[in-house]
Chains A and B, each alone.
Chain A
Amino acid sequence: QSALTQPASVSGSPGQSITISCTGTSSDVGGYNYVSWYQQHPGKAPKLMIYEVSDRPSGISNRFSGSKSGNTASLTISGLQAEDDGDYYCSSYTSTSTLVFGTGTKVTVL
């Protein structure tokens, strides 16, 4: 199972919106509404930000939103803040009952 494809880096100024893409195939992203997004700060464990394409766990800011079209899912961070700086990973359930992660995107708040 190949990793899902994400851009290596995305940047934006405070207050702006950015979008991170996550491209897979019909055997993962396109086939199921089980796409999740995680935030990871350096030296820390990842944290679930979005699950089932667009749902937010309790306590996650509504500045984070998710969507999906075909084989590509997206995470949008609106009203960018300094604390949003970090690495972001998508994941998807697959047709072989496994989980596959994306390649990761480094978000830089300018």
Chain B
Amino acid sequence: QVHLVESGGGVVQPGESLRLSCAASGFTFTSYGMNWVRQAPGKGLEWVAFVSYDRINKYYAESVKGRFTISRDNSKNTLYLQMNSLRAEDTAVYYCANGGEVVVTRIDSWGQGTLVTVSS
């Protein structure tokens, strides 16, 4: 049974940084690409970033390119999202999700999400 547990969310001011983590279990972490997907309050889903199973390929949504960095530690079965220069429009629930191998073609399983609030 896939288990994805996000942590690191919270309230920050515009321009500040935050690092999200996602602990994965119940599947072979090193065989799956991993993603971050976010959902602003009352809004739809927005794919944010993907890292391939072997850490070689990384892709980002245009809205976060240059500000966010996705990474993974396959020895710890953990996914990360470093978020810099945060803006009010980055306020959302951030979901960790597995899906894809070298590119993301779908999202298979999702965590329960962690809320990030960017506000002064």
Which residues of A are at the interface with B, using a C-beta cutoff of 8 A? 1, 3, 32, 34, 36, 38, 40, 45-48, 51-52, 57, 89, 91, 93, 96-104
The count of A-to-B residue pairs whose CB atoms sit within 8 angstroms is 69
Interface size classification for chain B: 20 to 34
Q: Tell me, rounded to whole Å, the shortest Cβ–Cβ distance linking B61 to chain A.
A: 7
Q: Which 8 residue pairs of A and B lie closest in terms of their CB atoms, listed nearest first?
A: A45-B110, A36-B106, A34-B105, A104-B44, A99-B47, A101-B45, A93-B105, A51-B106
Q: With contacts A3-B44, A98-B61, A103-B44 known, is A93 near B95, CB below 8 A?
A: no
A35 to chain B, nearest CB (A): 9
CB pairs A–B below 8 angstroms (12 shown): A1-B62, A38-B107, A46-B45, A47-B110, A48-B106, A48-B107, A48-B109, A57-B108, A91-B45, A97-B104, A99-B106, A99-B107
CB of B116, distance to nearest CB on chain A (Å): 16
Q: Are B108 and A48 in contact (CB under 8 A)?
A: yes
Q: Is the CB of B44 within 8 A of A101?
A: yes
Partner of B45 from the list A51, A98, A104 (CB cut-off 8 Å) is A104
Given contacts A99-B50, A101-B47, A102-B44, contact A46 B110 (CB under 8 A): yes
**Interface of B with A (CB < 8 Å)?**
35, 37, 44-47, 50, 57, 59-62, 95, 103-113
Expressed in whole angstroms, the Cα–Cα distance for A33 and B19 within the complex equals 34
Nearest residue in B to A40 (C-beta to C-beta)?
Answer: B45
- A93 and B102 CA atoms in complex are apart in Å by 12
Nearest Cβ distance between residue B69 and chain A, in whole angstroms? 16
Residues of B within 8 A of A47 (CB): 110
